[in-house]
Amino acid sequence: MVLGMAAVLSCSRIEEKEFVSDQGFASALAAKSVNTLKDAMPSSFLVKLEEQADIQELLGTKGISGIERVFQSTPGKEEIEKRHGLDRWYELFLEDGTQLEPVAEAVAGFSCVQTIEFNTVAKRPQSLGGAVSVNSIAASKASPTDFSQFNDPQFSNQWHYINIGDKAICSNVYAGGDISVKDVWSKVTCGDPSIIVAVVDEGVKYTHPDLAANMWKNEGEIPDNGIDDDGNGYIDDVYGYNFVDNGAISWSKNGDVGHGTHTAGTISAVNNNNLGVVGIAGGSGKNDGVKIMSCQIFSGNGGGEVAQVARAIKYAADNGASLISCSFGYAAGTFKSDGAYRSHAGAEYDAMLAFRDSKNNDAVDGGIIIFSSGNDATDYAGYPGALADVISVSALGPDFLPTHYTCYGPGCKIAAPGGEGGNTNYPVGLPTASGGWSVRAAVLSTYPSELDQNGGDYAYMQGTSMACPHVTGVAALGISYALKLGKHYSVDEFNSMIVSSAKDIDNRINSKSTKQIVFNSGAVYQTMQLHKYYHKMGTGCIDAWSLMMKIEGTPCSVIAIGDTHWVDLSPYFGTSSTSLTYIGFEMDDASREALGIEEEPQLKYGRLYIKATKIGSGKVTINAVGGGSIIGSDTTIGGMPISREISIITRGFASSTGGWL
């Protein structure tokens, strides 16, 4: 024990003789670096020190011009920072003209250095083909009665919220192929302004007329005075922060595509303001929408570095965000297991763990992390979304079928509308009745007018980037409603409820199912075979109503004593419950005794088979995989572990309808 402590505390240059002789310092770098020089920024790299080590020892290293903590320490957050090692991450800056690898090799030689991470920039936003101005599209002919809930004039073009089967969207549109949010707005909740959603993305145009009222505002900061008024370590961070340029949030630099403003609008564009579009948790027009915090990690053609992403996520945690919406990621296939990703993106993952542990509302005791699954059309998701403890979102079109670009399979936890409309930059999409691809089959949201071809504030975009904020918005509604009811959940419980609140899409897919995609303005069609997506779009399409009902509480299942009966699991795991992979159940002795369980219950055919001999009530916890057949691990890519507790009442009789009589 004493020897171990001594080893941890010392921070000195390791002599070359300590290594296998023919490998030298290079082997130290190989042993300590979690990634490679591929896509690495040449001017800096990150190190994580051993516990209680002192960074001062690295100061004299040749080629290093400066050292900064990757994460600023936030008062009151020290315990979480320490728990996840955020206090031990440093960014080392190189002198001009210095080669990265030799300096990294030298630093790796210090025993106090636990990990070296190159500042890679492989991540990218996950939308396809840019945006199409709403001003260039013919107005919707949808019945206004279907969209009378809010007076926002473009609401009727947002099929992704209420899909009435309008064939002007595309010829194979599917009525009901949406997120079932209409009744939530009218009967349950439209949001809560105390809930903050961090959009980790390009900068959000916080002056947008349909977003401004729902932007989070750091009241302790005076805008544009060049001073860190609230002492949180960031100057002029009023609506969030630009972690790329270390300054004001931007959205219209050369290279920006309006991505952050678009995803923000899906979550919380201001509702019922007689303007533009509707946001899922954008309120009812009474200043009751959830708030958007802009954590900018892309700027123009730059950004996406590990350090920037990590800082942005910690900022969200420290400044009150309950959810982060992350429509970006590494290309699918870059990593093939949770372990491979974790060991590559150490600082980023540590920041995610800290966010997960940061309780910023009274309903959920930590942060909810939602990523897009990727647009690579591969049969596995891209990381970080593919991590087992992260919700990743695949994309559906208005035909309520998988889109041609979406990732599917292991690592994909749930699906949502991402759109499938073509445009001149990307002439691929669902067909219209009159031929050609449909622009309106994409997702409509807010957009920076500075980037719009017609100077408009709204545009269509598509991608898993657009699917991701649909789940974020629904989750934000869920937290809003849980707050209203005074409910409280752990992060795992809330994640389980989100992932199990899904509508089945597999019932539309069989071995011969196909769909047609139009290429090049209708000149070429491609037939997509759909059977490969069967059971691979996570648990199905996010269902906002289902999540709200789970938050209200799922009623008991009633069964009769005597014979073996099966319990329908769809109220607990969604309408695709019969096709989920279940990994077991737990039933305590008290419940077994109360129900008179003499034969072991069984999970089969997606149901719980149980034989009770006594009248009473008991509980069973059922464990399943949210997306896929195995849970992701150090060595595999897979789904998320989800658990739901079922309450059972036994009587002398029971109706198969679930009715009491």
Partner 1 sequence: MRKILYLIAILATVLATISCKKEKKATKTPAIVGEWQITDIITKSAEFAGQTVNIYLSFAKDKSFEMYQMIGQGRYRKFSGSWKLSGKNLSGSYSSGKAWGSSYIVSVSEDLLTLTATEGGEADTYEKTVIPEEIKDESYE
Q: Give contact residues for partner 1 (rule: CB under 8 A).
A: 187, 549, 552-556, 558, 560-561, 594, 614-617, 647, 649, 651-661
Q: How far is CA 14 from the centre of its chain?
A: 41
* Helix or strand (DSSP H, E) at 445: strand 443-446
CA distance 405 to 538: 15
Cβ-based nearer residue to partner 1, 344 or 503: 503
Residue with tokens 């936003």: 125
Alpha helices in 377-529 (DSSP H): 464-485, 491-499
Closest separation in Å from C-beta 648 to partner 1: 9
Question: Minimal CA–CA distance to 104: which of 39, 8, 30, 16?
Answer: 30
Cβ-based nearer residue to partner 1, 435 or 555: 555
Which of helix, strand or coil describes residue 336?
Answer: coil
Question: Minimal CA–CA distance to 511: which of 489, 544, 534?
Answer: 534
Closest separation in Å from C-beta 161 to partner 1: 20
Closest separation in Å from C-beta 415 to partner 1: 24
* Helix or strand (DSSP H, E) at 394: strand 391-396
Cβ-based nearer residue to partner 1, 434 or 657: 657
Closest separation in Å from C-beta 546 to partner 1: 11
Query: Kindly report the CA angle at 533 between 530 and 539, in degrees rounded to 5?
Result: 135
Residue with tokens 């270390």: 246
Look at strands 64-69 and 391-396 and give their pairing.
unpaired
Closest separation in Å from C-beta 280 to partner 1: 21
Residue 471 makes CB contacts below 8 A (sequence gap 6+) with: 370, 391, 393, 414, 416, 498, 542
Cβ-based nearer residue to partner 1, 347 or 612: 612
Cβ-based nearer residue to partner 1, 187 or 512: 187
Question: ω into residue 384 within 30 of 0, thus cis?
Answer: yes
Closest separation in Å from C-beta 481 to partner 1: 12
Closest separation in Å from C-beta 114 to partner 1: 48
Q: Residue length, the chain?
A: 661
Closest separation in Å from C-beta 174 to partner 1: 22
CA distance 146 to 155: 10
Cβ-based nearer residue to partner 1, 67 or 560: 560
- For 58, 89, 282, the CA distances from 106, given in Å and listed in that order, are 10, 17, 52
Cβ-based nearer residue to partner 1, 404 or 487: 487
Closest separation in Å from C-beta 363 to partner 1: 16
Cβ-based nearer residue to partner 1, 220 or 562: 562
Type of residue found at 604: K
CA distance 256 to 337: 31
Cβ-based nearer residue to partner 1, 453 or 655: 655
Cβ atoms within 10 Å of 246's Cβ, excluding its own: 11
Cβ-based nearer residue to partner 1, 45 or 572: 572
Contact, 417 vs 179, CB < 8 A?
yes
Closest separation in Å from C-beta 409 to partner 1: 34
Closest separation in Å from C-beta 574 to partner 1: 15
CA distance 106 to 117: 14
Closest separation in Å from C-beta 375 to partner 1: 36
CA distance 339 to 337: 5
CA distance 388 to 379: 16
Closest separation in Å from C-beta 562 to partner 1: 9
Closest separation in Å from C-beta 176 to partner 1: 16
Contact, 408 vs 402, CB < 8 A?
yes
Cβ atoms within 10 Å of 414's Cβ, excluding its own: 30
Cβ-based nearer residue to partner 1, 275 or 485: 485
Q: Euclidean distance between the first and final Cα of the chain, in Å?
A: 67
Cβ-based nearer residue to partner 1, 560 or 583: 560
| Tokens representing residue 290 in the block | 């959830």
Cβ-based nearer residue to partner 1, 307 or 548: 548
Cβ-based nearer residue to partner 1, 213 or 648: 648
Contact, 204 vs 295, CB < 8 A?
no
CA distance 381 to 616: 45
Closest separation in Å from C-beta 178 to partner 1: 18
Cβ-based nearer residue to partner 1, 593 or 599: 593
CA distance 294 to 211: 12
- For 408, 457, 584, the CA distances from 538, given in Å and listed in that order, are 8, 33, 19
| Percentages of the chain per state (helix, strand, coil), in multiples of 5 | 25, 25, 50
Type of residue found at 488: H
Cβ-based nearer residue to partner 1, 323 or 569: 569
Cβ-based nearer residue to partner 1, 453 or 617: 617
Closest separation in Å from C-beta 614 to partner 1: 6
Look at strands 89-94 and 113-120 and give their pairing.
unpaired
Question: Minimal CA–CA distance to 351: which of 643, 153, 77?
Answer: 77
Closest separation in Å from C-beta 497 to partner 1: 13
